Amino acid sequence: NAGVTQTPKFRILKIGQSMTLQCTQDMNHNYMYWYRQDPGMGLKLIYYSVGAGITDKGEVPNGYNVSRSTTEDFPLRLELAAPSQTSVYFCASSYSGGRASETQYFGPGTRLLVL
């Protein structure tokens, strides 16, 4: 049981390039989330998904896209990378979002630098 895994751990992008951040969970969780954490700040929700085929925007979705074709995978796509997207990206999952007590399990994060 690996929990939530993310790849890559670190990536440098040039302005205008695109990339996909991978996230996989093996806990059969329905809900999955993408957050970004800027230096010295808390986490901000980018996108989330309540199940395969269903996604919705969070606080800061601009410049990102997601898809959820399976329960396990929730990739985050960056199109036309900008320096403002330099951040640490965390993927998280939870069994459901239906109970306020449901905690989230986080991946180790992907550090992205856009130059």
Partner 1 sequence: AQKITQTQPGMFVQEKEAVTLDCTYDTSDPSYGLFWYKQPSSGEMIFLIYQGSYDQQNATEGRYSLNFQKARKSANLVISASQLGDSAMYFCAMREYSSASKIIFGSGTRLSIRP
When asked if residue 64 is in the footprint of partner 1 (CB under 8 A), the reply is no
Q: Say how far apart CA 111 and CA 87 lie, in whole Å.
A: 6
Q: How far is the C-alpha of 76 from the C-alpha of 95, rounded, in Å?
A: 20
Pairing label, strands 10-13, 43-51: unpaired
From 41, 80, 82, 113, residue interacting with partner 1 (rule: CB under 8 A): 41
| 106 lies in the site for partner 1, by CB under 8 A | yes
Residue 2 backbone phi and psi in degrees, to 5: -85, -15
By CB under 8 A, tell whether 51 contacts partner 1: no
Which residues make Cβ contacts (< 8 Å) with residue 42, sequence separation at least 6? none
To the nearest whole angstrom, how small is the minimum distance from the Cβ of residue 2 to partner 1?
14
Question: Is residue 53 at the binding interface for partner 1, with CB under 8 A as the rule?
Answer: no
User: Measured from the CB of residue 50, what is the shortest distance to partner 1 in angstroms?
Assistant: 6
Binding site for partner 1 (CB under 8 A): 31, 33, 35, 40-45, 48, 50, 56, 58-59, 88, 90, 92, 97-106, 108-109
